[in-house]
Amino acid sequence: MKNELEAITFKNLQIELTRFFLAYKFALQEIETKINILQEEFKLIHEYNPIEHVSTRIKSPKSILMKIKKKSIEPSIEDIRENIRDIAGVRITCSFVEDIYKVSAMLQAQHDIEIVDVKDYIAYPKDNGYQSLHLIIKIPIFMSDHMEKVYTEIQIRTIAMDFWASLEHKIYYKYNKEVPEHIRIELKEAALQAAELDRKMERLNKQINILKENETEPSLLDSTPISHLAKYLTELPNK
């Protein structure tokens, strides 16, 4: 009887954990859909896409266990769900710093996204030079028998910021987080140089936009069937 009860409990836990991870998977799918819509709209309406690349990930069970121990979290699904808010993660890479804030504002304006926390490591970089904009959000997902709001972390950064962060992570992993002081100093200098590169590229982009505004290039919309419909509608006589 005892073994039978233990087997039932173990099976129920497996089901609960499966649903737990599915919720994060569905949350990422919801956010990816929202981002795809924004990309498509910008491409067609504004002839410009502020988003270069999007990647997603769900923390592995091993990473979650390590964080449980590090933060002394009670080993219950509810406590894990509430206290580890970056199990689902989205990374959005933009061309320019101003695009980061545009994308952030568009996501924050969506009525079904609840903003829990915003950390601006661009305006206030970390001591090691790290820069990025972090959003902790809650997004609703609908399961077969209930709706739940799922914590998700969104990191938005430029290509230069992402390149630096990726290399910094690899270096710290190689040295098992015991990085020599001279390397830490050089990493911070590299972060400052990456930030200067971002500022320079943004200045160039603004100059190019000014030149484009003075040109009379046809819009992408001008060659679509929609343009013909718009022209027809504007030529209809007023009643």
User: Helix, strand or coil for residue 169?
Assistant: helix
Instruction: For the full predicted model, state whether its pTM sits above 0.85.
Output: no
User: Helix, strand or coil for residue 155?
Assistant: strand
Residue 44 pLDDT level (bands cut at 50, 70, 90): confident
Does the pLDDT at position 126 exceed 90?
Answer: yes
User: Helix, strand or coil for residue 153?
Assistant: strand
**Among 118, 115, 207, CA closest to 156:** 118
The 3 state secondary structure assigned to 26-75 is: HHHHHHHHHHHHHHHHHHHHHCCCCEEEEEEEECCHHHHHHHHHHHCCCC
Residue 217 pLDDT level (bands cut at 50, 70, 90): low
Catalytic (active site) residue 153: yes
**Cβ atoms of 104 and 122 closer than 8 Å:** no
Average pLDDT, the chain: 87
pLDDT for the residue numbered 12? 84
pLDDT per position as a tens digit, 45-74: 877 889 999 999 999 999 999 999 999 998
Helix, strand, coil share (%) of the chain residues, nearest 5 = 60, 20, 25
pLDDT for the residue numbered 228? 63
**In the chain, % of residues over pLDDT 70:** 85
Residue 234 pLDDT level (bands cut at 50, 70, 90): confident
**Cβ atoms of 156 and 92 closer than 8 Å:** yes
The 3 state secondary structure assigned to 107-140 is: HHCCCCCEEEEEEECCCCCCCCCCCCEEEEEEEE
Candidates 30, 52, 82, 153; catalytic one: 153
pLDDT per position as a tens digit, 185-200: 899 999 999 999 999 9
Mean pLDDT within 222-237: 65
